[in-house]
A and B are shown apart, each in its own frame.
Chain A
């Protein structure tokens, strides 16, 4: 048993006898009255997505998941390969379960993978990841005067983000993986 505090991305919960992995959780405070947690979760058996909203402090059946630090190796088709940093064992995970986070992956970064009965079910990325800028159009004079203080840049794993106009090709930048935004120059 657990509480709504345990509903977070990557947790596995039992709902009507089915197991679900939480894909996204969101706090809702209606302004008047108690707070709630809304969870988007994926059925581990059939992949169907369900959305459920719980009052904070309600009991939720949380299944224990074994979290292991793993290094991302490569992508092959829709499968992503990781290496367990303590056992050096290699595993593969469905792109479906990684979802939108896949765009942040780059070779060598360490993630926390949740294993349920040896099967990878969830991924937690580092909050900030460092990338090398491979594409950055030069800033045009007068840009900032017309209100354009950001520009689109390309990073070494193919990700594109908006960054301040002073960023140049070859710079190293930190990206916040929760917001997808430029965070700082490394």
Chain B
């Protein structure tokens, strides 16, 4: 298991270097951690030689730093690095410390990134001489399906009609799930998605699920064909979510507004306050069009080894150290 992990990480590097990407390194400790309201970065303090402390966080993703590199003029970059997310389970598909690979293209759109990930998996599968993982044919052409089509298929409704909290609440209630006063659109969406859709994704061949409602855009830009949706996609193999990608929002004004909303939401949820990354906002001004993705390396190893628990593919896991 661990041998396969070593091999896969080597193959990822080979693949990206072979495609003219540059491997970059950015600091794992950051002052401006991810503003996402539901992420919990781990706070750490650094001390200078006189003992004066500075407040840092362990990165939850290298996204902000890598986008600053795009702003500085790098056009195809990747990074494999540890990330930390506190208050998460250590087992099954999560681990407080995990390994991520992110890559970005400038200029680039999210369809190129979809092709990248498909080619990467096929490259690794070929080198490992793997055709099928459980019943999922990794070497087949991957399925690409929009969130809207998925809802039509699995829930039997047109998602266009349920794009606000009120209408989505009615749908959730109608399907027999709880609706709480503090549920936002994301919560309601996932109550249906996780119960009715997710488990069946990517069982026969890998699937790319794209164009999420704009409320779930995070750092993605609105779709050109319909501004109610955003250029975000996720990849599923055997029901496991492996990656999350964006056609990046490079409108610095719009991004500054989203950061401020997220910061307010963090305050409302009594989460640790994180300063807004002004450097990132100004870097966006010099990025014309870009796309990028975060792929969980441990989960990728799980898929290739058919492991059921993330702890099987990590050496000396957090959990093993606690017990």
A residues lining the B interface (CB < 8 Å): 26-36, 38, 51-55, 57-59, 127-128, 147-150, 162, 176, 178-181, 183
| Closest partner residue, chain A, to B192 (CB atom) | A53
Q: Are B312 and A32 in contact (CB under 8 A)?
A: no
A-B contact pairs, 28 of them (CB 8 A): A28-B194, A29-B38, A29-B85, A29-B88, A31-B36, A32-B38, A32-B216, A33-B38, A33-B186, A33-B189, A34-B38, A35-B38, A38-B194, A53-B191, A53-B194, A53-B195, A54-B178, A55-B178, A55-B180, A58-B178, A147-B3, A148-B3, A162-B1, A176-B320, A176-B323, A178-B311, A179-B317, A179-B320
Q: Are B187 and A55 in contact (CB under 8 A)?
A: yes
Task: Please tell me if B93 contacts chain A, counting CB pairs below 8 Å.
Answer: yes
* Complex interface: chain B residues within 8 A of A53 (CB): 190-191, 194-195
B259 CB, nearest partner CB in chain A, Å: 14
Task: Please tell me if B218 contacts chain A, counting CB pairs below 8 Å.
Answer: yes
* Complex interface: chain A residues within 8 A of B144 (CB): none
B residues lining the A interface (CB < 8 Å): 1-3, 36, 38-39, 85, 87-89, 91-94, 178, 180, 183-184, 186-187, 189-191, 194-195, 199, 216, 218, 241, 244, 309, 311-312, 317, 319-320, 323
A179 and B190 contact, Cβ closer than 8 Å, known pairs A32-B218, A51-B199, A58-B180: no
A23 CB, nearest partner CB in chain B, Å: 13
B62 CB, nearest partner CB in chain A, Å: 14
Q: Are A27 and B178 in contact (CB under 8 A)?
A: no
Q: Which 6 A-B pairs have the closest CB atoms?
A: A33-B186, A27-B89, A53-B194, A26-B92, A179-B311, A53-B195
- Neighbour of B244 across the interface among A31, A57, A59, CB < 8 A: A31
A3 CB, nearest partner CB in chain B, Å: 11
Q: Are B36 and A32 in contact (CB under 8 A)?
A: yes
Q: How far is the CA of A28 from the CA of B36 in the complex (A)?
A: 16
B258 CB, nearest partner CB in chain A, Å: 12
Q: Are B85 and A34 in contact (CB under 8 A)?
A: no
Q: How far is the CA of A30 from the CA of B39 in the complex (A)?
A: 10
A27 and B94 contact, Cβ closer than 8 Å, known pairs A32-B186, A176-B323: yes
Q: Are B92 and A27 in contact (CB under 8 A)?
A: yes
Q: Are B312 and A181 in contact (CB under 8 A)?
A: yes
Q: How far is the CA of A28 from the CA of B190 in the complex (A)?
A: 10
Q: How far is the CA of A149 from the CA of B244 in the complex (A)?
A: 34
Q: How far is the CA of A58 from the CA of B94 in the complex (A)?
A: 21
* Complex interface: chain B residues within 8 A of A147 (CB): 3
| Closest partner residue, chain B, to A38 (CB atom) | B194
Q: How far is the CA of A150 from the CA of B191 in the complex (A)?
A: 42
* Complex interface: chain A residues within 8 A of B94 (CB): 27, 29
Q: Are B190 and A127 in contact (CB under 8 A)?
A: no
Q: How far is the CA of A79 from the CA of B93 in the complex (A)?
A: 32
* Complex interface: chain A residues within 8 A of B85 (CB): 29
Q: Are B191 and A55 in contact (CB under 8 A)?
A: yes
A178 and B91 contact, Cβ closer than 8 Å, known pairs A29-B38, A34-B38: yes
Q: How far is the CA of A35 from the CA of B190 in the complex (A)?
A: 10
* Complex interface: chain A residues within 8 A of B320 (CB): 176, 179, 183
